[in-house]
Amino acid sequence: MTKKKAATKKRKDRPLSFKGTPAIAIVYRLETASASTLAEALTQWLKDRGHKVFTAPEQKPVPGTRAMRSRTELRKVGLIVVLGGDGTYLRAVRMLEGHPVPILGVNLGSLGFLTPTRADEVFAAVDYTLKNKMELTPRAMLEVECGKGSKKSRILALNDIVIERGRKSQLITLSMQCGADFVSEVKADGLIIASPTGSTAYNLAAGGPLLHPSVNGIVVTPIAPHSLTSRPLIMPTDEELVFRIVGKPLGLRPQTNLDQVAQVVVDGQFFGDIGVDDEIRVRRTPVDHWMVQDPQRNFFFLLRDKLKFGDRS
């Protein structure tokens, strides 16, 4: 087997460098009236200051904006403003498909770990961003590849990749390999493969560790493992991780298609079914996602504010 290397170079925060009036795209939570209202107000505010404003593709156009016809157009703007929750933010990242357009997240949802700016702060936050008073924080992304032969598919993830048992099986056995080295086999409901950004999401709920965004690591956390010796692992990013479903899953219903015994979910969205002996390859991408961040609201602040980290009350 060919040994593959992944990206490992540590990236650092860098200052914003906007000049003039860059074009701006808005991605908003479609089913929320408050997001639509705020999108209209923000559009007018930006147009009054000379900016061209676009509605991102695959969305109902915001009045006063030009609707983009494709994701290719989205990659040409200077800034994307997300109005919604973490799910809306992840949708915007998917639209970019790895292109380094910075995103400012405004929280209209519940937790808002990726969208720390409050709705009542949106105008000040956008103004500060355009005046280069915010920071750009690099966030590692993962690429997952699965399928057989010519039918292999690839997609990028900011948070996590979840391999989970299908509805017709009770337990799956997954083998894990790091580069050329065999790691172990795990019997479980599945595995979570999370980036540092995703370590605060499903990984944390499943008992995995928190990783600072600057850490060069990938967390692999079993979901309801069959053995107490199956623990989360922090893996290096300079090696490709390969996962494989081993043998016929336990509790499999009769006449179940062995090509559909488990499924892959990427950043909360179904990616595809996988079968016995299928390989799922995960590696860090060479290009990071760039998140606009208030210097006063760093990772540790968000841990305390959003997750009540260290709170004894």
Q: Could you give all domains of the chain from N- to C-terminal order, each with its CATH number?
A: 17-133 (3.40.50.10330), 142-284 (2.60.200.30)
> Could you tell me if 79 and 104 are in contact, meaning their C-beta atoms sit under 8 angstroms apart?
yes
Tell me: pLDDT of 27 over 70. Answer: yes
pLDDT at 170: 75
* Tokens representing residue 206 in the block: 């499943």
Which range, 14-18, 126-130, 260-264, is most confident? 126-130
User: Residue 275 pLDDT > 90, yes or no?
Assistant: no
Has residue 148 got a pLDDT over 90?
A: no
pLDDT-based confidence at residue 171 (cuts at 50, 70, 90): confident
More confident residue, 312 or 159: 159
For 29, 65, 168, the CA distances from 32, given in Å and listed in that order, are 6, 18, 35
CA distances (Å), origin 220, targets 102, 212, 308: 27, 15, 24
Query: Which residue type occupies 235?
Result: M
Share of the chain above pLDDT 70, in %: 91
> Of 91, 17, 12, 22, which is closest to residue 56 (Cα–Cα)?
91
Q: How far is CA 275 from CA 57, 72, 178, 221, 258, in A?
A: 33, 33, 21, 20, 5
| β partners of residue 188 | 172
The residues carrying an active-site annotation are 86
pLDDT digits (tens, 9 = 90+) for 177-200: 999 999 999 999 999 999 999 999
**Cα dihedral 236→142→224→168 (10° resolution):** -140
